Amino acid sequence: MKKLVLFIFILGATISNCSAQAVPAPEENIPFLVTFGKDAKKSYGDDDYCQTFFFSIPKSFSKPFYIRIFDPETGGKHDETYKYSDSETTFSLYGGKGCVSEKDARETNPIGNFKSGNLLHNKTFKNESKYDDQWYTIGPLSPSQGEYSDEYFGYVFKLICQGTKGDDGNLYRYFLSTSATDNIPISGGNAFTFEYSFRLNASNNQISHIYPFVDDNVISIKQTNFDFDNDGSIELSSVATKGYKLKMSGDNEIAEDKYTIVSKEKGTSLDIQLIKGSRKITNNNVVFFVTNQYGEALPFFAVPIGGTPKYAGKLTIKPVQK
């Protein structure tokens, strides 16, 4: 009996590890985030050479923590190199007031005062074997260095990744950890972005998920995707919808369409699925964002708020004639 209890405990811990603050999260089935150098063609799959992610530390957590970056350099394994690996990527961490409350910080384009808040850490990576296929750790950080926000469930930090030089694609991942050397999640921690730039799986029929959160004020949304290469289909699912087809973009194209939110979906996350088709397209990078009826971007959470939305159906029973 003891053995059984222990086994259950370990199994639970393992599951928790897998589903916690890895960015992208395993449930998203997204292999890498991607940011290209500022000289890259947009057709490579990055429209603004910049990706901003926010990390949220729950109020209840007061210990030091770390933000870890996997394969931060440009070149070597994982990255998408054109001719020479001569690109540079700068990771800048911000905290303090305005970090997330500044409107420009929540825009889908890096314009205006998007680098708001206090700069806590800044590092530029070139083609460096030292960081190739390795983790780079920022910290220790104190939660209080972030900007407290009820809306985003705690102290918020902002990590901006910019392709400051070259035309190569930097593929990387994050982990919000309590350890400088291992990926140990923070209970209740989360990560979110307002514009998602990521690499799709190379193998066909894979389904990637991103989870925009719909608050009570949302009436309708507009999804925008860039450079999907018509690589299968894009569908929306939620507690009230399953398999709603969204417009998908071709190579170096933008596609967008609207979807009306029903009351049941308010306060829940949507599950936008990028379903690769039967064609095998490698190195497919895509940009995705969702705005509400006012043009305000919705946050995509790595751990979807309210859990992964599960379609509940809408059962109607009516008496009929024999």
* Ranges within 297-316 binding another protein (CB under 8 A): 310-316
- Minimum CB distance to another protein smaller for 50 or for 272: 272
Residue 108, token pair as written in the block: 């889908």
- Minimum CB distance to another protein smaller for 41 or for 310: 310
* Ranges within 233-262 binding another protein (CB under 8 A): 235, 240-245, 262
Whether residue 140 has a cis bond before it, omega within 30° of 0 = yes
- Is 278 a binding residue for another protein by CB under 8 A? The answer is no
Q: Which residues are registered as beta bridge partners of 214?
A: 268
Query: Could you tell me the sign of the dihedral formed by the alpha carbons of 75, 278, 51, 249, in that order?
Result: positive
- Minimum CB distance to another protein smaller for 184 or for 207: 207
C-alpha–C-alpha distance, residues 262 and 219, integer Å = 8
- Residue in 1, 4, 130, 319 binding another protein, rule: CB under 8 A: 319
DSSP letter assigned to residue 262: P
C-alpha–C-alpha distance, residues 49 and 45, integer Å = 9
C-alpha–C-alpha distance, residues 111 and 93, integer Å = 17
- Residue in 207, 254, 255, 281 binding another protein, rule: CB under 8 A: 207
- Minimum CB distance to another protein smaller for 29 or for 137: 29
Cβ 257 to another protein shortest distance, Å: 14
C-alpha torsion 166→168→174→180, nearest 10: -60
- Residue in 62, 113, 205, 282 binding another protein, rule: CB under 8 A: 205
Q: Which residues are registered as beta bridge partners of 286?
A: 198
- Is 318 a binding residue for another protein by CB under 8 A? The answer is yes
- Is 322 a binding residue for another protein by CB under 8 A? The answer is yes
- Minimum CB distance to another protein smaller for 40 or for 221: 221
* Amino acid at site 171: L
- Minimum CB distance to another protein smaller for 263 or for 316: 316
Contact letters (x/-) for another protein, 18-57, by CB under 8 A? ----------------------------------------
- Residue in 1, 4, 5, 320 binding another protein, rule: CB under 8 A: 320
C-alpha–C-alpha distance, residues 212 and 298, integer Å = 6
Cβ 242 to another protein shortest distance, Å: 4
DSSP readout, 257-313?
EEEEPPGGGTTEE-EEEEE--SS---S-EEEEEEEETTSPBPPEESS-TTSS-----
Cβ pair 37, 163 in contact under 8 A? yes
Contact letters (x/-) for another protein, 158-197, by CB under 8 A? ----------------------------------------
Cβ pair 301, 151 in contact under 8 A? no
Q: CA nearest 236: which of 202, 260, 253? A: 260
- Is 203 a binding residue for another protein by CB under 8 A? The answer is no
- Residue in 33, 261, 275, 302 binding another protein, rule: CB under 8 A: 275
Cβ 322 to another protein shortest distance, Å: 4
Cα 32 from chain centroid?
Answer: 10
Q: CA nearest 162: which of 253, 53, 58, 250? A: 53
Count interface residues toward another protein (CB under 8 A): 24
Would you tell me which residues interact with another protein (CB under 8 A)? 205, 207, 235, 240-245, 262, 275, 310-322
